[in-house]
Every structure is written in structure tokens, then in C-alpha cells.
Amino acid sequence: MRVAVVGATGLVGSTMLQILEERQFPVTELIPVASERSAGTKVKFMGKEYEVVNADTAISMKPAVAIFSAGGSISLELAPKFAAIGCYVIDNSSAWRMDPAKKLVVPEVNGNVLTKEDLIIANPNCSTIQMVMVLKPLYDHYGIKRVVVSTYQSVTGTGQKAVKELMDQRAGGDGLGVYPHRIDLNVLPHIDVFQDNGYTKEEMKMVLETNKIMGDDSIKVTATTVRVPVMGGHSESVNIELNKDFDENDVREYLSNMPGVVVVDNPKNNAYPMPLDAAGRDEVFVGRIRRDYSQPNTLNCWIVADNLRKGAATNAVQIAKYLHNQGWI
């Protein structure tokens, strides 16, 4: 099976290569794709070196599946070209997420919506992915009326330049460039661009994507997304209003039984999810599960995941694995 990774030299792209290898995805030939500037460089995969090629060369090699992490404009331009040769495209940008003709997929939550004809498949936003993994079992057992989420998102979600900017500032520099304000020893309530309604694009992604993935526009979602000086892993404080009452122990059991979710919830022993513990892991971690006494049928929880893995690369590879298991690739 020929597998193309578009954006193979970036943070998410390199993580995709790592996860394809870890999960022993049946790659017979890797096709690493990047910009003309990076063409000719080498990447390592499964003990071999592969030369990075441009998109036209990759298309001529007729991959079975292409996993994209190269930005929205590139996805809009190139995904249809790959799909035109019968290649499945799994896109990590926001380009196709809200296209009504394209599926937005977290395999454990709604993988069953995929069909053989879905040649361009959207990978959701990192912070949405980890949240819906927790919402799914609660929705199935109780129904969900409203979600209020505040995020604490790592600089790795912005990319390699943001990581360098944080470390330069930590070493004593004061240079800006990636963020409008200093990120070290600070938090920025500003991820992506502000919209006319006062919310950022990242916040509106969480609203709209959650409804699409859950298949229920009646779920009310409001979000505040914040960048924090953390090197890897996104955290979320989530308040969930259910349609009916619940028992906290039942909630923990339902979440524990959700594939890909790990409950870490023993405050007496200081056990709760943290980005340091989620680093390099594919699971979504949830803890601080407790009743909200300010209104009926509502609970609070704390959700953490490695944003480069389950929040991006792992989820994309899982979609590819689903396509393979169906016999479509």
C-alpha cells in the first residue's frame, strides 16, 4: 500500500510518520510530500530513508491514501487532485470540516458515518477531538443539553516556530513573531483570528465541529480557548449539562468503558490528568469528575490529551486504519 504524508516535515507530519510505524500500518511504500523548498530532503521511516517529493510527483505515484497536514489553502488545492485518482484523503486542516458533503470523523465516536465513496475525509480540531471522546458515552446514556468549555492549549498546537519562540523567551529573549504577546510566563485568551461575533475561529470550531461529529445540532456549546506556555498536550475544563440526572460513579464507569478514554480521578491522592502524563500517549484522559451544584443534571470534568497524537496524527491514522479494515484501501 502506497501511503502519502503531505506535510511530512512538520510537527504533525513527523508525528504521523511515527504513529504509522508504531501501529504497524501496512505501508509498502511511503511517499513523503512537502513544499518545493523541502523536496529532495530525506525522512526516516521503518528503518529506511525516503526522499521528500512535491505534490505532482506524489500524485503520479498513485498512493492509496494521503494524510494531509499542510494547512487549509494547500488542502483546498491538492486534496481534490489526489481524490481524482481514487486516493483517499484524510485532511488535518480546517478546509473541509464544515463542508456538508464531507465527513468529520473521530473513529470511536462516529466512524460508522464513513462510506466507500468518501474520498476526502476531515480530521477534526485537536481540542474538539478530545472533548467529543468524553461527550460520546455521556450523550448515549443521558443526552446532552449544553457544554461550556475553556481550553488550556499547548504551543505545539501552533507549530515548530511557536515552540522555538517559547524556548527563546524562556532563555531570556523577548522576541515576538508567532504570538502577539509574550507566551512565556503568560497566557493568551486568543487562538486563531477573532470573528465578528467576538469569538475566535478556534472557539467557533469547537462549537460547530461538536454538533457535526455528535450528529445533533441541539447541543448548545460555548467555548473560550486559551494558549498556555506548555510544551505539549491540551487541557480542557468542561461543564456538561445533561438531559437527565446521573450518578457520578456511573459516569466514571461509562467513561472507563469508552475505547480510548482513561479515567484518572482520585483527588485524595492528587491523581488527575496532566499534560506531562499524556505526552506521547494516544488516549484521552479525564478526571476531576464532580457534580455542578449550581444547577440540575450538570457535571464538571477535566480532559487532557496529547494534541499532536490523538488530537491530530493518531486520529488521522485511525481513520486510515478504518478504511483499511473495511477493505477500501
Catalytic residue numbers?
A: 126, 234
Measured distance CA(286)–CA(236) in Å, rounded: 9
DSSP state for residue 98 in the 8-state scheme: T
Residue 72: strand, helix, or coil: helix
Residue 285: strand, helix, or coil: strand
Measured distance CA(251)–CA(104) in Å, rounded: 26
Measured distance CA(318)–CA(20) in Å, rounded: 9
Q: What is the sign, positive or negative, of the torsion defined by CA atoms of 137, 24, 310, 211?
A: negative
DSSP state for residue 111 in the 8-state scheme: G
| Pairing label, strands 144-153, 220-227 | parallel
Beta bridge partners of 190: none
Measured distance CA(250)–CA(253) in Å, rounded: 5
Measured distance CA(151)–CA(256) in Å, rounded: 22
Element of type H or E holding 271: none
* Whether the Cβ atoms of residue 312 and residue 323 lie closer than 8 Å to each other: no
